Chains A and B, each alone.
Chain A
């Protein structure tokens, strides 16, 4: 769906919306002929000239220039202006802001407003020449001078609409609206005449040089002020009454109705001002003889005045001067005035004084166009306690310059601009056109929508800074952002010397530190390289010695070194276990060593198993928790010295294969060997084989012999199988590297016997008739290797000791 971006808040809205959903601003500029446009005053201003909503209260440069030109023209043509311009100048303050739009060529009067005032829309040509609208039937419609107040030649006065159109539109109006309009027209004409007379009197009283002062006098004392104030009366009526039917015309859009209601509430002060203006125009009692007959007839009698006084509460009488009530009583002296008072009764009779007061000096110092945007000076005091009531003031001196000037210079900016705008249009229509002037109705919603911004602009203009913002959201606003008024003082930094003042000691410390840093950057030769080479050389030497001596002893078949004579208790216990086995009893042989240790393990295991086989002919069950254990077990039985026993698989021995699961597998096998390892290495039923006949539990084995080179494997079998082996002895044939860690289990009697290393094999061979003799063959080389190792360890230790002592004595770093 198409969207439209709000020019005010920048948020997207539905294209069908007329007002922004978020800020209630109009989304699209008003165009001529648009039925929804409340006013087209601004419709066809070129984008470059069309002010933003926020900047509308500020007069554009061209408008200010136009105003200045206008004032200059009026000053130059004082003679002409003396009869016409005062009213125009007064209305200039009221309608100054609307001048730009009224003078625009594509700025038609809204149809709804024209229908109310009985006017028809002027043709484009007419509006091109004369932007103001002038009903044809008004008395002052025909220009009686060559120049209007706006400098427009009278020959270019607008052509008026025929009476038939007005009649048709009046016929289409409701009866109440038509009546209201007729009343307004009548009263306006009468009041205008009366004020015309007052102006003539003022002309006779006021004297001075022509120029600005004279212009200001004329501005404030013009008898044509009456039409302007009458316009205010009409405006109040329209705002108070007629606007409501207008809103009913287009009540389909709730949001637009809310905007209109807001405008109505915003116009309350304007209505008060309009009513006040009407009061001020009421002549004083002493000039009642100048009243028109219709107004004179409505003048209250002294009795009526007293009765009205009695109707007013005492507190109000005490607070207000008597003249106020007298003036208030004069408001009802005409029938038309009565009818016009009913909307005014909704508003306070008098505006606060702070809205009326304005310093005359400030007004004198600036052009009238700029004075219109001058904010009012705040003033304290209650409305009833203020000094001159406008009505009474006029009664005393209706041509008082100060009062009249303060009356209109206190108007808000937005209203004063339309006054200036109306200057062009009101001049040819004055004086008789004020009753039907459409100026009040030409206050459209877009002007109302700018009122909050206008208040900001008023504050900004009051400040000393008049910087016009040209970018961003504040574009068009003047003096909104505060600027730094105080001059920036530039501080010249004081020059500080960069030369350090150091003494000799600090110099020496710095030099020392510098030398330390230099020493850190110098690479030092790594001495460890030489040590590594020496160590490698030493390793080669040791390897060569071992290889040479071992090879020599093996080649020679030396028997220099004796076999061990003293048998360890553990080895003796192992032999006793083997010798005590029942004949042909099942023995579990666990082969848990790595191929790298197979030579040592075979040297230890073969004499033990050979001794056992020779004596008891046990049935062997081979199992391993190592993946290569089965191969080593097969090799042990079939290819080693034990192969001479010619043990047959299945009958005399059985290979159960690999037992997975680590210690958990060992535990499972200890608990239930048949379930844990039902098949042998050849995938046959193991526990039905003759080799395992009668064995269903771990305790059924006559003995458990563990061949291992790993202390962890020995601990696992000891820990997990110990509780389940019953009375079966547990013998370990271990590598020399694992024996020291297994010895505690031997001392604790968890292991029945232990044979470890080549020394244990030599003991077993001595007890086994020197079978197989491997230990004896290797014993000299083994013994020499131990001597070489011990010698080298002692020699190396002594060398290091001597080197350390020498180094320590010489003082060299280690």
Chain B
């Protein structure tokens, strides 16, 4: 890499880092300059990327230089793209509605299928396997510890699910409350949920702290 470009990129990075750090004293124009600049650069890059990475190689170039079957195969997506472009004008926006419906429908179907086959089923199976003696003894660890671990996961899962159960009935005194045993489970689930949130917070703080360290280190490396 050219040292001059390294110097320039280092200077720009240093200045913009200071502008972003200025947010510690509050919202200010320096911070806004840095954010606006980032948004503008990102937008331009995304536009160029969409053209060069999507439209040109996947639509325009085959239409211009592709064979007849390729061109005919690209007519439906071209037409759908045209209809979707009609969303710019409110009067003609209804033409893009079917295309939007198609996109949403395909996306929802993919998400539901992936969630059922990739998350719900495997997670339920994993929860059941925590008490499989064959798996427990096959891992070579202490079966008591593995059993305790499995029980802890099972309790945490059940109580956390009970916490999100909001079904209730009217009591004799007129108040509306959940069942007593569900209340106990929900209380236990709240503990697990609090622990989970703490872990997530720790992970977020850890990631942010790492970013802070990297920036300060970068500034120090530029200065020194």
Contacts and interface: CB of A to CB of B under 8 A. Distances in A.
B203 A551 contact: no
Contacts of B204: 736-737
Nearest to A758: B210
A709 interface: yes
Contacts of B111: 663
A785 B212 contact: yes
25 contacts: A550-B212, A554-B220, A597-B211, A599-B210, A599-B213, A600-B210, A628-B42, A660-B54, A683-B56, A715-B118, A715-B119, A718-B118, A723-B118, A736-B202, A736-B203, A736-B210, A737-B206, A748-B122, A750-B118, A757-B206, A758-B206, A778-B210, A782-B213, A785-B213, A789-B205
A546 B210 CA distance: 11
A679 B57 contact: yes
A673 to B, nearest CB: 15
B29 interface: no
Interface stretch (A55-63, A474-482, A738-746): A738-746
A551 B215 CA distance: 10
Given A554-B216, A662-B107, A789-B205, A539 B24 contact: yes
Given A681-B53, A735-B203, A627 B46 contact: yes
B150 to A, nearest CB: 10
B189 to A, nearest CB: 16
A540 B24 contact: yes
B212 A683 contact: no
Contacts of A735: 203, 207
Contacts of B107: 662-664
Interface string A740-772: 110011011110000011110000000000000
B11 interface: no
A213 interface: no
Contacts of B110: 663-664, 667, 720
A657 interface: yes
Interface of B: 1, 24-25, 42, 45-46, 49, 52-54, 56-57, 106-107, 110-111, 114-115, 117-119, 122-123, 125-126, 153, 196, 199-200, 202-207, 209-217, 220
Given A723-B117, A782-B210, 17 more contacts: A554-B216, A600-B207, A600-B211, A603-B210, A603-B214, A627-B45, A631-B45, A663-B107, A683-B56, A716-B114, A719-B117, A722-B118, A737-B203, A737-B206, A748-B126, A757-B210, A786-B206
Given A664-B107, A664-B110, A740 B211 contact: no
Given A597-B211, A658-B53, A667 B114 contact: yes
Contacts of A608: none
A555 interface: yes
Contacts of B125: 748
B29 to A, nearest CB: 19
Interface string A297-327: 0000000000000000000000000000000
Contacts of B56: 683
Given A600-B210, A719-B119, A628 B126 contact: no
A138 B203 CA distance: 135
B54 to A, nearest CB: 5
A123 interface: no
A777 interface: yes
B210 A658 contact: no
B198 to A, nearest CB: 9
Nearest to B210: A600
B209 to A, nearest CB: 4
Interface string A599-624: 11001000000000000000000000
Contacts of A707: none
